[in-house]
Chains A and B, each alone.
Chain A
Amino acid sequence: MHDMPQAIKEHAPAQTFIRKYVFSVDHKVIGKQYFGLALVAVFIGMALSWLMRLHLAWPNLHIPGLQWLSSSGAPNGVITPEYYLSLMTMHGTLMIFFVLTNAPFAGFGNYFLPIQIGAEDMAFPRFNMMSFWVTLVAFCVLMSAFFVGDGPPLAGWTSYAPLSAVGGSAGPGEGTGQTLWAISIAIFCIGQLLGSLNFISTTLDLRTRGMTLMRMPLSTWAWFITSCIGLLAFAVLLPACLLLVLDRIAGTSFFVPSNLVISDQVQTHSGGSPLLWQHLFWFFGHPEVYIAIVPAMGIVSHILVNSMRRPLLSHRVVIYSLISIGFLSYMVWGHHMFVSGMSPFSALMFSFPTLIITIPSTIITLIWIGSLYGSKLRITAASLFALGFISLFVSGGVSGFFLAQPSIDIYLHATYFVVGHFHLVMGVASIFGIFAGTYFWFPKMFGRTMNEGLGKLHFWLTFVGAYCIFMPFHYLGLAGNVRRYSAFVEDYLQPLLPVHKFISIAALITGAAQLIFLYNLVYSRFRGKPATENPWEATSLEWSIPSPPPFDNFGGKHPVVYHDPYQYGIASSTGDYVMQNSPEQIQTVRDDKSLT
């Protein structure tokens, strides 16, 4: 052992199959594991949304086979209102925690953050492995809720107390299912905290020579900022979930008020406050939406710059804006609680920073659009999805200005307007970031290229489909269509049923279009065109090593970085770009101070 070079001795490649691919400490394997978990979760989540959309448009539809999943929730395959809420809860929980947090942050972040800063692995490989396996346990606990006696939880992904806290008397899914939800999310928090610790220390401590903070690619910056947000946000959700578990199984009443009557029974709990749950949850919950969107913003910036072959108007301003988004995300949680009976003065105090936080978001968007203006864009599936991200982020963001104001929010809060808003701006936009990242990095991760034609087809179907689904939501909301109802028969909302049918058909088609992506992913993994080292003519460090990268990324050495991350649009020996680790002297075309 002693005569081996230090770097190799520290981190020898695993030999057995189990250590190599299952309990691996290699950040690349862990990244792929997170990605795979997110893929499983996203297709389950999508299937659940299909069931909901089918039921909303055709309330009496018999869905064959559904009674096998839940005989009480869907007798004869017709979804009961309670089971509808369960589907919605599981859809939201899966999508927010196991897809939007796992894929863009933990998945791509694990795989590419160490490579982009020139490190051979994360700072704490074992913590890294633990964080994935803890997350997988959380996923299994959540999934087991489908198969317990009284069905999966139905309190929504926000699990509002007191219904989530009083136990089985509150409804069919509020027994064991809700307990499993709280335990699952508590476990998930531990995994994310471990991951965040690792991301931050890796970024700060393992940057290779020349990789100053300002020379880190924007994707790395986004993952770094996200992990700073996550470190504090999940630290609040963890005790909140533990208190919820205590309320449910130990008889405490943190979140249950006195003399609460549920199902004609006076609850034995007393003295707690449902609002306390809302405060604790949203103190985590609002930063969480930035945990979902900031990595996507970083990935999109990284890809756009490569496709338009010129640097962004300002690298620094994007970074500062992302940092201020991260900071401000902690000051706005009350805007989710305008309808909770909050004092109008408090509401104003939350409304104001909510409007302020749109400023850095707008600055970043304008930088993207301004940089795009007049550029010779290379149209690829990845760049199309990056453009789609901007479009969805703007469309969904604009309704945020309305919802930030308490007087308007009170009318719109419990309607489909809010559902449309967050699906566009956070859900689908972040998913587009994941898609863009997948098409862009797939050659590096698997050594093969995805089919561009299928990718573009997938983009257009998904892009048009997403608008067809979520734009009408805003109209429904303005028309007063309440959310979380399982059907709109025999009431004043029936005239809106055709809109629901349109949305459901669009959702089915858009969902089916995702099978193209799945096919492309699986086919390209085994039969795709072999990828070269740098197929996109990109500049960052991940493209300076073979595809797929060897075990310790840089062959036991550390690269030396000479340039800013995005040296595109300049005359050099390689073409119109210079890689970060190329010692070539260059003259930047743009005399841009922000890039020095």
Chain B
Amino acid sequence: MSEADLTMGTHVPGALEQSPFAIPSKKLVMWLFIASDAITFAALLFAYGFLRNATPDWPRPFNFSPSIINVMLMTFVLISSSLTMLIGVRMAQAGNKSGAFRWIFITAAAGILFALLHLREWLGLIAEGVRLFQNPWGAGTFGAAFFSITGLHLTHVVGGVVAMVVVGLRYRRGRYNADDIEILGLYWHFVDMVWMFVVPLVYLLNVKQ
């Protein structure tokens, strides 16, 4: 698939009416996707809140150590990866191709680290007996809500890592430009921002008291 097949991007200057948003179509679509995806996460978080409020014996299983420490570490990794992505985008905009490529791969590595930490946490919880429909502490819906929300987020992280590898390589080969790197960055910051809602609502609200 070539770039030309993907969008109807370039036109003779002046042939088109000005867009109300002074951004390329691809970037607009990424913003629209983010709006739509934010609603999807909102629906899931709403479902979680709805069930949590309706359930008297909602479990609060997270200890400070190791769960919350692990989450803090994951959060640190993810926020740092937003910073490295920002450096990559800046370098791409400045025309520093190899620098941008390097920082994007650092970001992808951070994404992988996040996913591994997340998987470690999941496996720990599964070892403690948490399933999609039961757990040792209380309402069985806890596991369903926890795994579906964090699972969807993890899917986004993994998808982002794959996108970084694909877009990064194509950028280095010259098929994608700095704009595409910026769009990639938008997605990654969005994944980061969703996590900022997941941490307090799914983890901190469920700390053992």
Which residues of A are found within 8 Å of B145, using beta-carbon distances? Answer: 254
Q: Per-residue 0/1 for A265-294: is the Cβ within 8 Å of any B Cβ (1 yes, 0 no)?
A: 000111111011001100100000000000
Selecting from A35-43, A205-213, A401-409, the interface stretch reads: A205-213
Q: Is A124 an interface residue (CB 8 A)?
A: yes
Instruction: Give chain B residues whose Cβ lies under 8 Å from the Cβ of A239.
Output: 40, 43-44, 47, 152
What is the minimal beta-carbon distance from A105 to any residue of chain B, in angstroms? 16
* A212 contact from B17, B47, B51, Cβ within 8 A: B17
| Cβ distance B36 to chain A, nearest Cβ, rounded Å | 4
Query: Contact at B50–A273, with CB atoms within 8 Å?
Result: yes
Of A119, A212, A242, A251, which is in contact with the most chain B CB atoms at under 10 Å from its CB? Answer: A251
Query: What's the dominant secondary structure at chain B's contact region?
Result: helix
> Contact check: which of A7, A25, A200 meets B11 at CB < 8 Å?
A7
Q: Does B1 contact A (CB under 8 A)?
A: yes
A239-270 to B contact mask, C-beta < 8 Å, 1/0? 11011001000111110000000000000111
Indicate if the CB atoms of A201 and B43 lie closer than 8 Å.
no
| Surface stretch bound by A, among B66-74, B102-110, B133-141, B186-194 | B133-141
Partner of A208, one of B15, B44, B131, B152: B15
Q: Which of A492-545 contact B (CB under 8 A)?
A: none
B32 CB contact (under 8 Å) in A197, A243, A268, A279: A197
Q: Tell me which residues across on chain A come within 8 A of B8, comparing CB atoms.
A: 10-11, 119-125, 206
Let me know if B17 and A252 touch, CB within 8 A: no
Residues of A within 8 A of B5 (CB): 25, 125-126
Is A6 in the interface zone, CB < 8 Å from B?
yes
With A10-B8, A204-B20, A273-B51 known as contacts, the answer to whether A246 contacts B14 (CB < 8 A) is: no
Q: Tally chain B residues at the interface, Cβ within 8 Å.
A: 47
CB closest chain-A residue, reference B50: A276
Q: Is B209 an interface residue (CB 8 A)?
A: no
The answer to whether A243 and B133 touch (CB under 8 A), given A200-B32, A204-B28, is no
Is there a chain A Cβ closer than 8 Å to B127's Cβ? no
Whether the Cβ atoms of B39 and A235 lie closer than 8 Å is: yes
Determine the chain A residues whose CB is within 8 A of the CB of B205 once the complex forms: none
Task: Find out whether the CB atom of B17 lies under 8 angstroms from the CB atom of A208.
Answer: yes
Q: What count of chain A residues pass the 8 Å CB interface test?
A: 58
* CB of B65 closer than 8 Å to a CB of A: no
Known A-B contacts A126-B6, A208-B16, A271-B141; A201 and B132 likewise in contact (beta carbons under 8 Å): no
B47 touching A236, Cβ below 8 Å: no
Judging by beta carbons under 8 Å apart, are B47 and A235 in contact?
Answer: no
- For residue B36, which residue of chain A has the nearest CB? A235
- Report the separation of the CA atoms of residues A235 and B38 in the bound assembly, to the nearest whole angstrom: 9
The verdict on B55 contacting chain A, using a C-beta distance below 8 Å, is: yes
B4 CB within 8 Å of chain A: yes
In contact, A252 and B144 (Cβ under 8 angstroms): yes
Question: Chain A residues near B19 (CB, 8 Å)?
Answer: 204-205
B1-37 Cβ-contact flags toward A at 8 Å (1 or 0):
1001111111110111101110011001100110111
Q: Is the CB of A124 within 8 A of B4?
A: no
A252 touches B132 (CB 8 A): yes
| Residues in chain A near residue B37, CB distance under 8 A | 235
Closest-by-CB residue of A relative to B33 is A197
Of the candidates B1, B32, B40, B148, the one whose C-beta lies within 8 Å of that of A238 is: B40
User: Is A300 an interface residue when CB atoms closer than 8 A count as contact?
Assistant: no
For residue A357, CB closer than 8 A to chain B, the reply is no
* B141 contacts across to A, CB distance below 8 A: 252-254, 270-272
Within 8 A of B (CB), among A25-72: 25
What residues of chain A lie closer than 8 Å to B16, measured between beta carbons? 205-209, 558
State whether A9 and B4 are in contact (beta carbons under 8 Å apart), knowing that A205-B28, A239-B44 are contacts in the complex.
yes
Known: A123-B8, A243-B47, A243-B148. A205 touches B25 (CB 8 A): yes
List residues 118-162 of chain B with CB under 8 A from any CB of chain A: 131-133, 139-141, 143-145, 148, 152
Closest to B58 in A: A271
The residue in A124, A196, A213, A268 that gathers the most chain B C-beta atoms within 10 A of its C-beta is A124
User: CA separation between A256 and B12, bound complex, in Å?
Assistant: 58
A235 to B46: give the CA distance in the assembly, Å: 13
Chain A residues whose CB sits within 8 angstroms of the CB of B166 once the complex forms: none
Q: Does A231 contact B (CB under 8 A)?
A: yes
* Residues from chain B with Cβ under 8 Å of A384 in the complex: none
Does A231 lie within 8 Å of B35, measured CB to CB? yes
By a CB distance below 8 angstroms, the chain A residues around B17 are 207-212
Q: 0/1 per residue, A107-139, Cβ < 8 Å to B?
A: 000000000000111111110000000000000
Chain B residues positioned under 8 Å from A121 (CB to CB) = 8
A232 within 8 A of B: yes
Instruction: Please report the C-alpha to C-alpha distance between residue A231 and residue B39 in the assembled complex, in whole angstroms.
Output: 9
Chain A residues with CB under 8 A of B51: 254, 271-273, 276
Complex Cα–Cα for A7 and B4 (A): 10
Whole-angstrom CA separation of A246 from B4 in the bound complex: 39
Q: How far is the CA of A205 from the CA of B22 in the complex (A)?
A: 9
Distance of A229 from chain B, by nearest CB (Å): 12
- Min CB distance A529 to B, Å, is 34
Contact of B36 with A193 in the complex, beta carbons under 8 Å: yes
Specify which chain A residues have a CB less than 8 angstroms from the CB of B55 in the assembled complex.
271
Say whether B25 contacts A246, CB under 8 Å. Answer: no
Closest Cβ of chain B to A554, distance in Å, is: 10
Nearest Cβ on chain A to B60's Cβ, whole angstroms: 15
Query: With A and B bound together, what is the CA distance between A250 and B132 in angstroms?
Result: 7
Neighbouring B residues of A198 by C-beta, 8 Å: 29
Q: Is the CB of A283 within 8 A of B43?
A: yes
Q: Which of A200, A240, A271 contacts B43 (CB 8 A)?
A: A240
What separation, in Å, do the CA atoms of A212 and B16 have in the docked complex? 10
By a CB distance below 8 angstroms, the chain A residues around B131 are 251
Residues on A with beta carbons closer than 8 Å to the beta carbon of B25: 123-124, 201, 205-206
Can you list 13 A-B pairs, Cβ within 8 angstroms, ordered by A? A7-B11, A124-B8, A126-B5, A200-B32, A232-B35, A234-B36, A235-B40, A246-B132, A254-B51, A254-B141, A271-B51, A271-B140, A280-B46
Supply 8 further A-B pairs (C-beta < 8 A) apart from A120-B8, A208-B16, A253-B140: A119-B8, A121-B8, A125-B8, A204-B28, A235-B37, A243-B47, A252-B132, A253-B133
